[in-house]
Amino acid sequence: MWAAFRSEMRKMWKRPATWVTLGLFGLITVADLFGEYRRARKDPDDPFFLPDAWSLILGEEVMVGFIFASVLVILLVAAEFSWRTARQNVIDGLSKTQWYWAKVLLVPLLSALFLALRAAIGGSFALAGTDLAAGAQWFGAAQLAALGGMFVTGLGFASLALFVAVAIRASGPAMAVWFAWFAFGERLVVGGLGALFEGWRPILKWAPIMTFNRLRDYIQYDSEAFRMAAERAVEQERPVPELEALGPAFAGSFLWIAALLVFGWLWYRKRDL
């Protein structure tokens, strides 16, 4: 398994697609967060500093990183079927188990990488505007918890990507299916089933994307950010956010991740290479 994973790393870092994906993501992230930094420099009333800036850094846009991570998982896994290297690896002596689970290790690795990249880029820009001498608590338990929760979201999306990649075995179609499910497929299915069977609605709320996304709301982890968001909502007469119980969301996400990885494994193992 370790040898298989080492091969995996060598293949990944030599693959141009890895660098294209990382580079593109880096560029987008820098552009996005540098924009915040510059805006704050011009407008001292709306500063960009830590820890407050985390709600922006770890906001909605974290999803962009997970999309890139999932795309890269698909590219790294599905291509092995088109090139028939998935087959050759097994001929060369890797067991199917080793092959699959070495790929599974890409899921946490890439989810963490893309999340960390955004946190590091955003953190650096915001740190430049942070008065550290005043003893600002620029990173704490709340941020760690948020990063942990979002990491699980990333695991969820990347597991779904691995699953479609081994099920479909071709990068293009796998990406299309992944994206379709993420963008509208799940909503259509859940909406359709909910309309047909009203009794199912409480269960349908636990569809994979919805479950993963529950862990992606920064204010759920940071009480200060939550308070500010609630105040702003009252001022703007918008619905006030609610604190959710994250326990079930974590449990649901882990169940989905386990299910996706295990089904992927069974499907991969059953079919000829």
Binding segment for other proteins (CB under 8 A), chosen from 88-96, 126-134, 205-213, 229-237, is 88-96
Please identify, using beta-carbon distances, which residue of 77 and 94 lies nearer to other proteins.
94
Could you tell me the smallest distance in angstroms from the CB atom of residue 75 to other proteins?
A: 11
**Residue of 14, 45, 242, 245 that binds other proteins (CB under 8 A):** 14
What residues numbered 68-87 form the site for other proteins, per CB under 8 A?
Answer: 83-85, 87
Omega within 30 of 0 (cis) for the link into 239:
no
User: How far apart, in whole angstroms, are the C-alpha atoms of residue 177 and residue 46?
Assistant: 41
Q: What is the dihedral of CA 63, 67, 68, 74, to 10 degrees?
A: 150
User: Is the distance from CB of 126 to CB of 53 less than 8 angstroms?
Assistant: yes
- Work out the number of other CB atoms within 10 angstroms of the CB of residue 193: 15
Q: Least distance in Å: CB of 15 to other proteins?
A: 6
Least distance from other proteins to the Cβ atom of residue 9, Å: 10
Where on the phi/psi map is residue 210: left (φ > 0), alpha (ψ -120 to 50), or beta?
alpha
Q: Is 112 in the site for other proteins (CB under 8 A)?
A: no
- Exactly one of 94, 121, 147, 161 binds other proteins (CB under 8 A); that residue is 94
> Would you say 46 and 135 are in contact if contact means Cβ atoms under 8 Å apart?
no
Positions that interact with other proteins (CB under 8 A): 3-4, 6-7, 10-11, 14-16, 83-85, 87-95, 272-273
